[in-house]
Structure 1
Amino acid sequence: MPTHIHYLFLLFLAFACGVHERKSHTTPTLPPTFGDYWYQGKAELASYDLQQVRYGELRDGQAVLIFVTEDFLLTRQVKPDHPGEAADAIKVLKLNATRKFNTGIYPYSTMTSVFTPVYLHENPSTIKLTTSVQEWCGHTFLQANLTKNAYKIQGHSYFEKEGEQEYTITNTWMEDEIWNSIRINPKGLPIGKVEMLPSSLYSRLKHIRYQPYLAEATFTSTTPDTSVYQISYPEMQRVLKIKFDPDFPHGILAWEESYPEGGEIMTSKATLKKSLLLDYWNKNSEADSIWRRKLELPGEE
């Protein structure tokens, strides 16, 4: 379906079916202990065993989620060089999500960065998103920046189809911000039919345009030990399940991502190995490699 027709069809369905808009959703409050955990001057590092679908096969690898709060400039949408001096700096929860896996002889390295305001009642939308993929054929990059009522999308790539793109999308939910929303307060997650930008990493790996799709979001399971939040995209035949701790600080326990690959539905999976709080930016000597062993990460990661 041509892009403009897809988007008009999406808007029609959104109007007809009562799709959940971001502005109509209840803004969550912060848990009382939020600052005690997130304002310690440390990041949360979590390592995962990864099975990543690529080229019709499952590839063993490693994933790491790095969550940290920091100051962020609203106008320039960058981290300030001198925190506390900028008038328009806000607190964000930043997620850096990395994956590393091999496909035959050559390696893949991916990273997604998401900057979501901590105080959502003041700034209810994620401010910025970037995703990059590196492998031996070349690399790709995608960035989304929040403007007044929209996201400005920029795409750069070694591949012709997705190279040198620039366009605008109306402000909507991002799948990539759901991880931060879980950590801030999962009560703010959208439920029901929702217009959502799917994973930016998925769009890069599949070489498809980064644009909204209709999705169905729900909690499929909540037990004393695990909550499961699911996003289904009927048009894409894609389902994401995120398993997390129902208790604060709502650590990510595992995730599964299913979609068509090579004529069948295949599932990428990640399962938590280790998690710790650490000021990792101060741990850059050879002696600090001990922390990699504590996270059960390979030495060359």
Structure 2
Amino acid sequence: MILVVAAVAISCTSSQDPVTPLDHRSLPVDTSWAASPVWDDGKAEVAVYEAVRMVYGKRRTYEFTMITVKEMFNRAFNVKTDSYERNDLFTVMKVNLAARIETDVYPYHYLTSMFFPRTSPHDVFKITTGSQEWCGNTFKRIQRTDSTYGYAFDSYWDNEGAGIRTLPLNVWFEDQLFYTLRALDHAKAKTQFTVRVLPTMITNRAALDTATPATFTLTSDVIDPSSLGTISSIVEQECWRVTMKRTDGVEAQWWFTKDPQHILLRFHHSDGRSLRLKTLSRAAYWTTE
């Protein structure tokens, strides 16, 4: 069975037609996935990966950290609240993606923060991402509104600079898939569905390419736990694999545990990026003790 979500092609420089948001009823998404009490323990899930990315034509190895934690936002500022004595609070799941990539001359630093309503793991509420290296820094922000995503950016690149655009709601951002795919209903392991996907925002450029139709396939797979180093003792051989194939030839695969948490074990992208889980813990990383 193939489920298709209708969407229009977009680019950051074109005007947007009215669009229909993604409808979770047509996708194998478990909207209750983040309701698990594991997220109510006051700690964050901290997953550290051995990572590879091509930079300046060379294969660079580095550490990639993914932090997933529940937070309480207020609607006045759409950020984590300091005060809980107010009536505009709502719960989100935050996913931070942090990386430092060394090159032959200077390092690249990336930090991406993504926020999802706790009951909507397929709908991005906000994304902020920044890159810093010796040539300059670039900042990008995605903010959901009732009818569109607002996209604001400030780039050091010529022909980009600072700007504001709108994007339709019926697209997925590739980076959100590290979280959204964990919430798929893996009981429907052979289900296929199609969504338009925008490429990774973890770059130092502000331009977004056109959203491309991508078909996702869920299958059962087997992974060698010994390939995961120190965490091999907690990983079963059987896992879920999600494969994405875009119509432009781009492909990616994600491997998740079959337990209810659906921990990301491995990731591979046709552009040369890859992740392999190295350590996994729960920690209140914001404390100094």
TM exceeds 0.5? yes
Question: 1:169: Cα distance to partner?
Answer: 0.9
Change (3 A) 1:214 1:31: closer
Name the structure 1 match of 2:48. Answer: 47
In the alignment, structure 1 residue 7 sits paired with structure 2 residue 10: yes
More RCO (CA 8 Å, sep 6+): 2
1:1-301 matched pairs, under 5 angstroms: 7=10, 22-23=22-23, 24-26=25-27, 28-31=30-33, 34-35=36-37, 37-83=38-84, 85-120=85-120, 125-172=123-170, 173-183=172-182, 185-187=183-185, 191-201=192-202, 204-205=203-204, 208-209=207-208, 211-223=210-222, 225-235=238-248, 237-259=249-271, 267-282=272-287, 284=288
Task: Please identify, of 211-220 and 138-147, the stretch whose mean Cα deviation from structure 2 is larger.
Answer: 211-220
> Deviation per CA, 1:132-152, whole angstroms, max 9, x where unpaired?
111111111111000002100
Deviation at 1:164, TM superposition (A): 0.7
Q: Deviations over 1:185-228 (max 9, x none)?
A: 22189942211222211xx3566425522222222544562212
Q: Does the 8 Å CA contact 2:128/2:142 hold for their aligned counterparts?
A: yes
Residues 32-63 of structure 1 show CA distances to partners (whole Å, capped at 9, x for unaligned) of: 9711x110000011111111111211101111
Q: Which amino acid aligns with 2:108?
A: Y
Identify the range of structure 1 (213-222 vs 55-64) with the bigger mean alpha-carbon deviation: 213-222
Task: Output the TM-score relative to the length of structure 2.
Answer: 0.79
Cα offset, 1:99, TM superposition: 1.4
> How much does 1:248 deviate?
1.5
Alpha carbons of structure 1 residues 101 and 73: separation in structure 2 relative to 1, 3 Å: same
Task: List gaps (5 residues or longer) in structure 1.
Answer: 9-19, 260-266, 289-301
Which ranges of 4 or more aligned residues in structure 1 deviate by more than 6 Å?
Answer: none
Q: Percent identity?
A: 27
Contact persistence 2:74–2:81 (CA under 8 A): yes
Q: Which has the higher helix share?
A: 1
TM-score of the superposition, structure 1-length normalised?
0.76
Q: Deviation string for 1:64-102 (max 9, x for gaps)? A: 00110011224532111113x232321111100011111
| Residues 59, 102 of structure 1: 8 Å contact kept | yes
Gaps of 5+ in 2: 1-7, 12-19, 223-236
